[in-house]
Amino acid sequence: MGNLKARPLLDQLDFDAFERVVILSPHLDDAALSCGGLLHALQGVPTLVVTLCSGNPPPLVSVDGASKTPARRGHVSPRIRRAEDVAAMRAIEAAYVHLSFPDAIYRRGPTGKLIYPSARGRWIAPRDDDAAHIEELFQLLRRICLDLGPILLVSPMGIGDHVDHQITARVAMRLAAAAAGAKLLFYEDFPYVADPHSGRGGDGPEAALARLQLEPTERFVVPVDIEGKMRVLRHYTSQVPVLFGGDEGMRAAIAGYQHGGTACECYWRAGKARDRHGSALPAINKGNIL
């Protein structure tokens, strides 16, 4: 990875060759956090942000037939977060789609038990009980993305090891393989990539791609308009205090992630990883993920 020269993405790609740029966002702020600089630069280019886990928690039904909406401590209502994302996407002139899949913390398996019951349980590989959700997600995204013509598909690579980010990356790989007109580009998950204490800790692009059985082939940078990205992120009023503490913490985090002395975002192309004999490693195939 260290031998790959970082090249300017906006100069290297012909965005006119794509019908649309499609950015996959696991949650209702990930695209803005990780790709806010790119979104700011692409205003005027047809762009669609698809948020996967933006649905309400499935209601719990008691023995008497009454239902209630479950809550997890420290988590904001998806309704509030969807409104924040709508405001952010409109400000950046990006089209958006909110899919109705719930966040991993709310998903339940065939027996009705939570698949990821603890906070620590989110920083693991997808569980077998999540296979039906993953397959349904792929089929829906396939209909949304693959009828658009040639697209640039931009996906998280899963830095930080959050299960929803991993699932998004694996589904993106399937989507790219299913359509000749789709070109896949991975973005670095922010703020996980910039904070060694976030997520599973100490993670980076090389490790994230290796978990996908990929190895990096090209690296790109997008200079970030710090104030422009902050204007987008300020719409996520429920998340900024949790992630950054406030405006100054947000500015420091964005400005502190640099390439060549300039605040930036990094994007990667990758190919199948090969063993020491030069043979491609077998594709991930657990739980119908890939």
| pLDDT tens-digit profile, the chain (290 residues) | 457 889 999 999 898 899 999 999 999 999 999 999 999 999 889 999 999 999 998 776 655 555 556 565 557 889 999 999 999 999 999 999 999 999 998 999 988 889 998 877 788 889 999 999 999 999 999 998 877 789 999 999 999 999 999 999 999 999 999 877 889 999 999 999 988 777 676 789 999 999 999 999 999 999 999 999 999 999 999 999 999 999 999 999 999 999 889 999 999 999 987 655 455 545 544 332 33
Cβ contact 85:96 at 8 Å: yes
Element (H, E) at 239: none
**Per CATH, the architecture of 19-58+75-272 is what?**
3-Layer(aba) Sandwich (3.40)
Measured distance CA(13)–CA(269) in Å, rounded = 12
72-99 residues labelled b (16+ CB within 10 A) or e (exposed): eeeeeebeebbebbeebbebbebebbbb
Measured distance CA(230)–CA(232) in Å, rounded = 5
Task: Please give the model's pTM, rounded to 2 decimal places.
Answer: 0.90
Measured distance CA(120)–CA(241) in Å, rounded = 21
Residue 216 phi, psi (nearest 5): -70, 140
Residue 178, SS3?
A: helix
